[in-house]
C-alpha cells in the first residue's frame, strides 16, 4: 500500500453542517484530519454557502487558511446575484466553484442552475458538481467544459466512462468509486486525466477514501495524476 502524500483532495468542507452538528467543521480540525491522512491540500468550501448564504459562506471559505484551496459556492436558489459573486471570487483568486444542487433542491434543468453553469464556465472556473452524474451531465455537455463530478458511484462507472469518452474535460472524484476495480476501470478505460481524489472530510470518514486510493492498482504516473496532477491541470486557467 502506498504511503506517498496525496497532494490534493477535491472534496473537503468547513464551517458548520446542521445535519451533523456534532462534527467539528472548524478549519483547524479539518486540517488536522487531512494531515493525519497524508493529504496536503484540500479544496474547501464552507457549509454556510451551501445551506444558507453564499456571500458570507464564500468569505468564510476565503479565511480557511493554510493547507486549503478555497472553492466558491453559489446559491442556486438565488441565481440573480451569481455573476457579481463569481466576479468577487475570481478577483480573490478563486479557481473553482462547488454546486450543491441536491442539497439546495435545484435540478440541472432549472433556469437558475443553467444560468450559474453558464456564468461559471464563462469565467473559466472549474465546477465541482454534487449529484448523480447520470442526471446532471447535460448541463455541461458539448461545450468543452472541464468539470469534476463529486458523486460518481461504482454502480455508474459504465455511464461515466461513456461520457468521458466524448467529453475530454469530464472528471470523476474517487470517493464513491468503491468497488474493488472501479478506480482501475476508469483509469484503464479513459485515463487518469479523468479522475481526481476526493474524501468529503469531515462530513464523511477520511480513511475509506484514502485506503482505497492507496491500494489502487495503478502505475506510479497514474497514481500521481489522480492524487494531484489531474486537478492541478484542471485548475490552470484555460
Partner 1 sequence: MKNHPVIDVHGHWGPWFFAMDIGDVAENLRVMDEWGISLQIVSASEAVTYDAPGGNAKLAEILAANPRLRGYLVANPNDPAATEADLKRYAGSGLFCGVKIHTGYPRREISSPQMRDTFALLDEYAATILIHTWGGDVLDLPGLLAANPRLRVIAAHMGANRWDLAAEAARGCDRLYLEPSCSITDAGQVAHVAARVPATQLLFGTDATLIDPAVSFGLVEDAALDPATAEALYWRNAAALFDLAAPAQAAYAAR
Which residues are bridge partners to 48 per DSSP? none
- When the beta carbons of 31 and 212 are compared against partner 1, the nearer one is 212
Backbone angles phi, psi at 155, to 5 degrees: -70, -20
Within 8 A by CB and 6+ apart from 120, the residues are 74, 86, 97, 99, 127
Question: Between vectors from CA 107 to CA 131 and to CA 69, what angle results, nearest 5°?
Answer: 50
From the CB of 100, what's the least distance to partner 1, in Å? 17
C-alpha cell at 29: 480540525
- When the beta carbons of 95 and 200 are compared against partner 1, the nearer one is 200
From the CB of 228, what's the least distance to partner 1, in Å? 20
- When the beta carbons of 141 and 158 are compared against partner 1, the nearer one is 158
Residues near partner 1 (CB under 8 A): 20, 22-23, 153-155, 157-158, 161, 176, 178-182, 185, 200-212, 215
3-class secondary-structure state, position 6: strand
- When the beta carbons of 79 and 192 are compared against partner 1, the nearer one is 192
- When the beta carbons of 44 and 125 are compared against partner 1, the nearer one is 44
Count Cβ atoms below 10 Å from residue 41 Cβ, excluding itself. Answer: 20
CB 115 within 8 A of CB 79: yes
From the CB of 155, what's the least distance to partner 1, in Å? 5
From the CB of 234, what's the least distance to partner 1, in Å? 24
From the CB of 105, what's the least distance to partner 1, in Å? 18
User: Looking up cell 478549519, which residue turns up?
Assistant: 27
Amino acid at each position: 500500500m502506498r504511503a506517498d502524500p496525496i497532494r490534493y483532495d477535491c472534496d473537503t468542507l468547513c464551517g458548520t453542517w446542521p445535519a451533523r452538528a456534532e462534527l467539528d467543521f472548524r478549519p483547524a480540525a479539518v486540517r488536522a484530519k487531512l494531515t493525519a491522512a497524508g493529504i496536503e491540500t484540500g479544496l474547501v468550501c464552507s457549509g454556510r454557502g451551501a445551506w444558507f448564504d453564499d456571500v458570507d459562506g464564500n468569505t468564510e471559505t476565503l479565511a480557511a487558511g493554510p493547507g486549503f484551496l478555497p472553492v466558491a459556492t453559489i446559491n442556486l436558489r438565488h441565481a440573480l446575484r451569481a455573476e457579481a459573486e463569481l466576479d468577487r471570487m475570481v478577483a480573490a483568486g478563486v479557481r473553482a466553484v462547488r454546486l450543491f444542487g441536491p442539497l439546495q433542491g435545484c435540478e440541472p434543468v432549472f433556469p437558475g442552475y443553467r444560468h450559474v453553469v453558464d456564468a461559471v464556465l464563462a469565467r473559466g472556473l472549474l465546477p465541482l458538481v454534487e449529484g448523480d452524474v447520470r442526471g446532471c451531465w447535460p448541463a455541461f455537455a458539448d461545450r468543452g467544459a472541464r468539470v469534476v463530478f463529486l458523486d460518481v458511484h461504482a454502480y455508474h462507472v459504465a455511464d461515466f466512462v461513456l461520457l468521458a469518452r466524448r467529453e475530454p474535460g469530464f472528471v470523476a472524484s474517487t470517493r464513491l468509486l468503491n468497488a474493488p476495480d472501479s478506480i482501475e476501470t476508469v483509469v484503464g478505460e479513459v485515463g487518469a486525466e479523468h479522475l481526481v481524489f476526493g474524501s468529503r472530510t469531515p462530513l464523511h470518514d477520511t480513511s475509506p477514501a484514502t485506503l482505497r486510493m492507496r491500494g489502487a492498482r495503478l502505475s506510479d504516473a497514474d497514481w500521481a495524476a489522480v492524487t494531484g496532477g489531474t486537478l492541478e491541470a484542471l485548475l490552470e486557467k484555460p
